[in-house]
Amino acid sequence: MKYLLKAAFTAVILSPWLALAAPDAAQLEQTLIGLQNSLAQAEVHKNAGLIERTVADDFMQVKTNGETAKKADLIDDAGESDVTDVILYNFKLVSVNENCAVLTYDAVIHHAKRSEGSRRYQHISSVWAKQGNDWKLKFQQLTPNLWSAEDID
């Protein structure tokens, strides 16, 4: 009986903290997935303003061909984007600390025209950092899907 009372007391004392941990992680995951989907749609709709607000000033991206891009490159390229649709799926979140997280996912990217280097199927890792009250995209690595590395849209 003594052990049962200790277990019950411990559960009552710890339950508020245990209950908070899971929803916070789930909420963070949904927040970052929403931001990532918004950025994908910004490329489809050529919305440079959303890219400007969501991407960190010191952002860096490693493209599928190994070249790098900065925030200004994303903004400049937004107006000339030939992306017609983006499907993001298979999200996984790794929390680094309360102000940083890595979101990995798969993407299917459809282009209006075929061009060298436009990989349709990609694995993407995005590093998000909290700056003030806002989450900003800090770094992104684009990797062609192994089974479709030569599949160019």
Inside any domain, residue 129: yes
Report the CATH number at residue 28: 3.10.450.50
Task: Count how many domains the chain has.
Answer: 1
pTM higher than 0.85: no
Identify whether 139 is part of a domain. Answer: yes
Residue 25 Cα distances to 1, 30, 82, 109, angstroms: 35, 9, 35, 28
Q: Is residue 153 part of a domain?
A: no
Place of tokens 């890595």: 102
**Tens digits of per-residue pLDDT, 72-122?**
999 999 888 889 999 999 999 999 999 999 999 999 988 887 665 566 889
Residue-range definition of the domain harbouring residue 107: 2-148
> For residue 125, is it within any domain?
yes
Total residue length of the chain: 153
